[in-house]
Chain A
């Protein structure tokens, strides 16, 4: 979940009882853990030289990714920004419900939506035929618009009501207020959200693979498995990584600008437009369509299929595997995120470096990070540091990839928890005679606990939903829910793919609802 990636280091404050140097060492280790797989991809790809370049595969991948990013990403931006404008600034039936419900499509990874719609199309039950390039673009637009919706809604909500009221008092009609005031003010938010959606599209493997589109992500797998071309795969991965970094920078800069668009600090309920009855009904229908196509319909369809074909015995092993991978992985990623959040709060260079490294790991597609980790283990084996890639080592590599990839998603909730620990509370506990351990146990941890729990939940679900890295690194015959859904779907056994897909979808709903509520409350004076 990329809405977690924003972060502003604030003034120094941690009372975690580590000496400065110990904290420095931890921050350095966190930076290396996050940065090394991505760095390995870049370095090894560069040493491969241009002669080995698989130009055909690379060209197809670039075209496919560019095409899906522009059509699917453009669709997500238009849908998300319109929905954000409607719920933030207009009055229509169901507005309160849609405000939080519109984020629900984020619960399902693209491959789950793809399997749902593919089986619906196959059964002739889909409202439109979802297949091929346009099918993939449809899945991205309706599955990923919430990234834009969330960022744009935050931008609309943080706008000073004064600017909008001033525009109205100067005689601007609602369309002019939108085009000339609200939209320009919200543009950084829309750009940031759009960049996140495009990052997800570039990183997606399952949906593009299922619809038979060659993208950079699927090309990595093709080079690796079909052609046995490790260097070629690394080179495609490095191109994808560079593209992802460009979008990461775009997202960060847009978000930085969005912070300054707030202006006035006076908060009143935003003035909302009452729409004429016809337009209001159209607005309700528009939001309902987004929600139904992005979440409701696939959720119902998957439930129906799963009930038709529920085979508990086949689900049990993948479920246990998924839960244990996600459980252990979340704890490791949480520790890493806590180290980074604490280091970032000190405002030092190392804190910034660890934050950037985590952002890089987060932006990089799972397949890229997995290849990087695999390459590093390969080098370690050549150097005689580790033995062959057995199950234990494979799981180690997998946990490393999860930590590097998702730590950034835990940093922001933890940082929000640390922000609640004011300097005053620490000073207060000190003058009352509490030593550093007692301050940690009695003050810091209890106050930060809800944020830590939220971060842990987010990380747990992210890992549960992860597909490409798990596919590459999992030990032999070690299926997770995502892998099982993928394997069935690859065999065109979409009926059997429904149950694991549904479980992933349902697990994904919990953190989405928590985050959505948090963001709604973040505007002072929001009702």
Chain B
């Protein structure tokens, strides 16, 4: 195992920038989650690390070893990285055991088969060793793909939205199995997802990307509590936004003030308030438009001065038609606009 380190990496397709000056480190034995919408460049990062594509500029290191630079690309087959593709890319003509054994070519045949079975056992699929991919369920295919990627003991494991095709219950279960296996094997992992909740759950470190640029790299708690931009705050959960000038060190929204001393007397600023940072209690400050159940929280829509915000509130809150609103400072941020 070794750390994976990108320095100032750039990549373009037909002149269109897919990745622009990105520097990142996946610490040795930890999980780095890459979060961003489609087209943010997160899958490109995995392909560059795997050596499936060359970098246009910048460098990629595994530990001390340089694997990609402008002048040199170590071939993918020599890199020893594990890759779990979004569609799993299991070989359709090989059974589960043979798929897992594919990367173990340096050993005796019997030893190889035993090793493959050990890995299938580890992901709870020993009994499916002789099934072909089309006979496996989506979740089983994902676990075979994970075992296949880990079996050759890679320097690093790359997971490209590995749970995206699965239903929510199975997804949570597989996440547990995957994280458990990764922790046991202490594998350096890069995990691509566009699901904020999933990223926060799995990550030791979190990198948020947009349009091929790295917006912020931080621990998950830190990124959530101290986003460095409106985009990062919005990427990690639902937010409300209000634009106004800074007066007396704060942005004054219709629902309350958000502290903004660090912006000085900026003419235009943007207050970004997480939906769960709005506390509602009986009062007259705002109109309560409606309340709907939304899982662990209820989603309320409130209106004041013609502005409508959304608030996540404890379920079954007894509220009248009008409410007072308090903005909890831990979920309220101000950025220059």
Contacts and interface: CB of A to CB of B under 8 A. Distances in A.
Interface of A: 420, 422, 424-425, 427-435, 438, 442-443, 446-447
Contacts of A443: 91
Nearest to A424: B89
Contacts of B93: 446-447
Contacts of A420: 92
Given A427-B50, A428-B83, A428-B85, A433 B78 contact: yes
A427 B92 contact: no
A431 B92 contact: no
B274 to A, nearest CB: 38
Contacts of B81: 431
B92 A447 contact: yes
Contacts of B82: 431
Given A424-B89, A435-B77, A446-B93, A429 B102 contact: yes
Contacts of A429: 91, 102
B184 interface: no
Contact of A432 (B47, B52, B92, B148): B148
B87 A424 contact: yes
B77 A427 contact: no
Interface in B68-97: 75-83, 85, 87, 89-93
Contacts of A434: 77, 102, 105
A431 B83 contact: yes
Which 4 pairs of residues, A with B, have the shortest CB-CB distance?
A: A432-B103, A424-B89, A428-B89, A430-B76
B79 A431 contact: yes
Nearest to A430: B76
A431 B50 contact: yes
Contact of B89 (A422, A435, A438): A422
Contact of A425 (B47, B91, B105): B91
A422 B91 CA distance: 10
> Which of A422, A431, A438, A447: most chain B CB closer than 10 A?
A431
Contacts of A431: 50-52, 76-77, 79, 81-83, 149
B152 interface: yes
Nearest to B148: A432
23 contacts: A422-B89, A425-B91, A427-B52, A427-B85, A429-B102, A430-B52, A430-B76, A430-B77, A431-B50, A431-B81, A431-B82, A431-B83, A432-B102, A432-B103, A433-B78, A433-B80, A433-B103, A434-B102, A434-B105, A435-B77, A438-B105, A446-B93, A447-B91
Given A425-B89, A447-B92, 19 more contacts: A420-B92, A424-B87, A427-B52, A428-B83, A428-B90, A429-B91, A430-B51, A430-B52, A430-B76, A430-B77, A431-B52, A431-B82, A432-B102, A432-B103, A433-B103, A433-B105, A434-B77, A435-B77, A447-B93
B99 to A, nearest CB: 9
A428 B144 CA distance: 13
Q: Report whether over half of chain A's contact residues are helix, strand or loop; otherwise say mixed.
A: helix
A434 B105 CA distance: 9
A429 B47 CA distance: 14
Contact of A428 (B78, B79, B80, B91): B91
B301 to A, nearest CB: 34
Nearest to B53: A427
Contacts of B77: 430-435
B337 to A, nearest CB: 41
B84 to A, nearest CB: 9
Nearest to A449: B93
Contacts of A442: 102
B91 to A, nearest CB: 6
Nearest to A446: B93
Contacts of B85: 424, 427-428
Interface string B43-71: 00001001110000000000000000000
Nearest to A432: B103
Contacts of A422: 87, 89
A259 B152 CA distance: 44
B21 to A, nearest CB: 25
A428 B85 CA distance: 8
A427 B83 contact: yes
Nearest to B52: A427
Best-buried of B51, B77, B81, B149 by chain A (most CB within 10 Å): B77
Contacts of A427: 47, 50, 52, 76, 83, 85, 89
A524 to B, nearest CB: 16
A460 B91 CA distance: 30
Contacts of B80: 433
A438 B103 CA distance: 11
A431 to B, nearest CB: 4
B125 to A, nearest CB: 18
B89 to A, nearest CB: 4
Contacts of A447: 91-93
Contacts of A430: 50-52, 75-77
Contacts of B102: 429, 432, 434, 442
Contacts of B83: 427-428, 431
B263 to A, nearest CB: 46
A360 to B, nearest CB: 32
Contacts of B105: 433-434, 438
Contacts of A438: 105
Which of A425, A427, A428, A434: most chain B CB closer than 10 A?
A428
Interface centre among B75, B78, B81, B102, by most chain A C-beta atoms within 10 angstroms, is B102
A420 B85 CA distance: 17
A417 B160 CA distance: 26
B97 to A, nearest CB: 14
A224 to B, nearest CB: 50
Which of B81, B90, B103 has the most chain A CB atoms closer than 10 A to its own CB?
B103
A442 B85 CA distance: 19
A185 to B, nearest CB: 32
Interface string B250-277: 0000000000000000000000000000
Given A427-B52, A428-B83, A442-B102, A433 B152 contact: yes
A425 B79 CA distance: 17
B220 to A, nearest CB: 27
Contacts of A432: 77, 102-103, 148-149, 152
A428 B80 CA distance: 12
Contacts of B91: 425, 428-429, 443, 447
Taking each of B52, B81, B82, which has the highest tally of chain A beta carbons within 10 Å of its own beta carbon? B52
A260 B75 CA distance: 40
Nearest to B80: A433
Contacts of A424: 85, 87, 89
A442 to B, nearest CB: 7
Interface string B181-208: 0000000000000000000000000000
A320 B75 CA distance: 50
A420 B105 CA distance: 24
Nearest to A433: B77
A315 B149 CA distance: 59
A94 to B, nearest CB: 33
A446 B102 CA distance: 14
A382 B86 CA distance: 62
B335 to A, nearest CB: 39
A325 to B, nearest CB: 33
